[in-house]
Amino acid sequence: MNKLRYQVAAPWLTARRVINNFKGRPPASAFRILMLHDIPAVQIMAFERFLEDLKVSRKILSPEEAELLLDGAPPEHPANDWGSLPVLISFDDGFVSNFGVAAKCLAGHGVKALFFVCPELVDLEGEAQARAIASNIFRGNLDWRQISEDRRLMTWSELGELRAMGHTVGAHGMGHQRLSDLTGEALAREISGAGARIEEELKARVDWYAFAFGNIDSIHGDALALISNYYKYCRSGIRGVNSEATGRYALLADQIEADLPDTYLDLVLEGGLDGRYRQSAGQLSRMLE
């Protein structure tokens, strides 16, 4: 399936560029959010190359710069082309590989990113953490014994160092639960408990939330209302472009992996996959109405 997808990426990208040329100018505040997860050691070189290419082709926003755009400040780097919109980089789940990537790759390029973590999983260690990662993050699709030591999660002290490097730590749920499975106390604990616990450990306000799994079926109106009571911004995993006009709790993001073929990454960055997510994006933006 994926192979076929990569094979059609080139003609698809060509078609997309024609469409982008006819779309007129994007809103000046338009940007995309990229969503990455664990970056295993074998992908670090690919990520480094990806970052270099990204820097050449567009502005990489810091979380603060993205916040200003969403809050309606006049853009310092107005978007002028759908194909090269500025991007904000985010990482989900808090794997320790993110710490290495931040210290080595992001620091080298002066890039600041958003890291979404689950406090209850950070609090676990060793086998207990591996079991929780397998059941909550991989939903049982991976045996806990396959989760090696280099797949552990960042500790509180590493998260503190991330902040000291200028990155932003956001909440990804207390224990990476699917919000649409929860109600009442459990839902409130998963959402606001996460922010409160991170704030207690890192002594800093948490403004960002990214709901686990990120798809439209993993969120509902009650959950998003609770998120909006506690946080300032909520990022989904639904693809598309953000701008000042996007609801701050309906932010869209493109899941990528560092070692995807270049043409496929360009297709993602130039909006080639947005069409399939338009309905979900619309549903999410109406959820708080």
Cβ atoms within 10 Å of 281's Cβ, excluding its own: 21
End-to-end Cα spacing for the chain: 37
Q: How far is the CB of 9 from Zn ion (least distance, A)?
A: 25
Q: Kind of pairing, strands 233-235 and 87-92?
A: unpaired
Cβ atoms within 10 Å of 218's Cβ, excluding its own: 17
Q: How far apart are CA 250 and CA 234, in angstroms?
A: 6
Q: How far apart are CA 212 and CA 263, in angstroms?
A: 28
Instruction: Select 180 or 263, whichever has its Cβ closest to Zn ion.
Output: 180
Task: Kindly indicate which of the ranges 51-59, 85-93, 149-157, 279-287 contains the residues binding Zn ion, using the contact rule CB under 5 A.
Answer: 85-93
Decide if residue 93 touches Zn ion (CB under 5 A). yes
Task: Kindly indicate which of the ranges 53-61, 84-92, 201-209, 215-223 contains the residues binding Zn ion, using the contact rule CB under 5 A.
Answer: 84-92
Instruction: Select 86 or 175, whichever has its Cβ closest to Zn ion.
Output: 175
Q: Are 258 and 39 spatial neighbours (Cβ–Cβ below 8 Å)?
A: yes
Q: How far apart are CA 157 and CA 46, in angstroms?
A: 27
Decide if residue 38 touches Zn ion (CB under 5 A). no
**Dihedral sign of CA atoms 203, 209, 211, 213 in order:** negative
In sequence order, which residues have a C-beta less than 8 Å from that of residue 120 and are 6 or more positions away? 132, 174, 175, 194, 197
Query: Which residue in the shown chain puts its C-beta closest to Zn ion?
Result: 92
Task: Kindly indicate which of the ranges 98-106, 119-127, 209-217, 240-248 contains the residues binding Zn ion, using the contact rule CB under 5 A.
Answer: 209-217
Q: How far is the CB of 211 from Zn ion (least distance, A)?
A: 9
Decide if residue 92 touches Zn ion (CB under 5 A). yes
Q: How far is the CB of 137 from Zn ion (least distance, A)?
A: 6
Q: How far is the CB of 10 from Zn ion (least distance, A)?
A: 31
Q: How far is the CB of 116 from Zn ion (least distance, A)?
A: 7
By CB under 5 A, the count of residues binding Zn ion is 3
Instruction: Select 215 or 243, whichever has its Cβ closest to Zn ion.
Output: 215
Task: Kindly indicate which of the ranges 25-33, 211-219, 226-234, 259-267 contains the residues binding Zn ion, using the contact rule CB under 5 A.
Answer: 211-219
Task: Kindly indicate which of the ranges 90-98, 127-135, 250-258, 267-275 contains the residues binding Zn ion, using the contact rule CB under 5 A.
Answer: 90-98
Q: Are 263 and 10 spatial neighbours (Cβ–Cβ below 8 Å)?
A: yes
Binding site for Zn ion (CB under 5 A): 92-93, 212
